[in-house]
Structure 1
């Protein structure tokens, strides 16, 4: 372990005692509680400078230290040579298969007189003590995105109510480059959480191999140190983007140290500059957040002399997974009972969707899993998809797939007023007129289908001509009764000409009866 340098006060005391007294190195070391080696080293450095004790009384500590340590610095030129490679090593170590040993071999090829492997590793590991540098070494490019909400909230004023609205701040950071994304969000609810993760992916231009969230309910349904239960909707989102969810372990700060450090920097570089500004919408607040976020991502690291954005473009951008053509369709999962009419209800829309009729049972009732988004409603039973419907928001409406219906229901479902009229016209115009009267006489067309089918089916038994003639008589009498039409055909009345009813006067003339002239 390297020795800790003694303080400047003791260095000055060494020079004073050696210059003004006859004390030996041993006595000076004992008096100052330092080693004899330290006394000899700093006195030798001072002597080599050619200065007198009186000349250093007003000299700055930094200047004096440079003089007394100059021989050691000159002797370590190869360290100064090595340290120039360290920022390059940080980037190279993020590449697959690159190790410190490989980098040392390349270094020795260029500088055969350079440090051996153990000293090479020691100097590099000591140099990277900065937290900003260490976080880039511990994570492979494109491997993980760490996400969390900041503990403190930002605010804006609602224009309508004039009330102050508190805003959650979502933070995401890529492990290798440290590129950061932040945005204001109305809540930590599931939909807001998923959309914030998605916007982070699109901001980065790709998806990481894994997402590391904290154990909030929107991400983890049941926290467990060894086998956490992921929120099913968040898991589907991860599957859509080809990534996986690896929650941070409970009460393990090291698992989320990276994002917590990012939150600390967000406080300093976004919260602080915005502290005296007033915003009147979430959108306005986010624009300000993103402006300062760009400054943060383009600011150079203290030691690397390269920004997060530049490091991302050099080492991590190409390692991210490509994004899909469309954004994730937000899905909701619920469980529903199959009703007696082999439909399940989406209560949000008051609309019903069909499932295969054989799934209906009285006891116990069959439950199916309904997964829906803005466009599609999918139904699952026994972990198998049994139906998929286009989402319909018509209240009290039914979306039915014919194959889900029993055979007798399917037969009637395939008939429509237009199809019945086409059949009636193929028999005769009079038949079509009767069918029209039957349909108009019912409140709903389907109520008339059975009567229409009965009338039209008589053509097979009695022939098209006889049925058309019978319907002509029915139209004259203003009736569309199935029984009357069938009775006319059975009795052969469809062939008879109906006598013209004439009004014949049978009243005799009488003197007490006034004629029509009386009323004129």
Structure 2
């Protein structure tokens, strides 16, 4: 059997090499001395030569390749796929409590139906699309967006849309923040209000509120108070204020000279050197 398979492979190889030789002599040879100024011109010339080759009667036969295709092969063709083939990679992730999964390579978050919260899913992603599968069932599909730390959200996926209560809700975050300080509650409220869907803000909220355990309630309140003055609302701002001990600065006439946390829209003086 191995010997027979080897003979079959060699026979197929010979047929392919023969076809390449024929195409070389019938298409490449007549065109090689011509000059084409665009790829479109070359493709048109190749198409004309190919059609002439397919319409030429086969040696010892009363039909051509084109005639055989039309009468025998065309009816056996299956329709082409609706979508063009794209190379895909895969990534494993767990659906977070905000109803999103993170595609690690881009650090971008995509929504899935809320009933899959806590489930392990597979992401298949190509250059243009991201598909999310659970047990071989596709549960979500999004256009691929490469902006890091951003969200792509379909409204019908979200728990809040379906009045479904999870462990994370805006009211619970505001209640937690109020137990620390009113300034913390105001800052969390700003974060929630700036997102199109509340679930998109949950990671920032829990990150900020968790800083109270490390820095203490008073320092977190001071950091939120200073960040409210900056008008910048995200976890990284609070983190940088605490790390640089900017929460301990006294408000004064020189407040404008205090260093400001880095922000995506602020390049700084080093950018222009």
- Coarse TM-score class (shorter-chain normalised): 0.3 to 0.5
Q: Bigger relative contact order, structure 1 or 2, given CA contacts below 8 A and separation 6+?
A: 2
Q: Which one has a bigger Cα radius of gyration?
A: 1
TM-score normalised by length of structure 1:
0.27
